[in-house]
Amino acid sequence: MLAPSSYYQAEQNHLYKAEVIYKDGPWRGLEQVELATLDWVDWFNNRRLLSSIGDIPPAEYEENYYRQLTQDTAA
């Protein structure tokens, strides 16, 4: 797998700041920011639905991909 481009990383950073840092702040401390970040990363990877991959979360898509790859290899 190729490393993400700097453009993709910048887009992710912008999305994170818009959805977490600016929307939910001001923050009382670093611990509060860390907990909000963990929650957002969980949502982003495990619960966010993407129409481009069939309205399923990215983690489910990846799981399906590797399951299919394993089945193809075993066959």
Secondary structure string (H, E, C) spanning 31-56: HHHHHHHHHHHHHHHHHCCEHHHCCE
Under 8 Å between Cβ of 45 and 58: yes
Residue-level pLDDT at 8: 85
CA dist., res. 36 & res. 33, Å (int) = 5
Predicted confidence (pLDDT) per residue in 20-42, tens digit:
999 998 999 999 999 999 999 99
Q: Are 20 and 40 in contact (CB under 8 A)?
A: yes
Beta bridge partners of 56: 50
Cis peptide before 57 (omega within 30 of 0): no
Answer whether 0.85 is exceeded by the pTM. no
| Tens of pLDDT, residues 60-75 | 999 999 999 999 888 7
State the pLDDT at residue 1.
Answer: 47
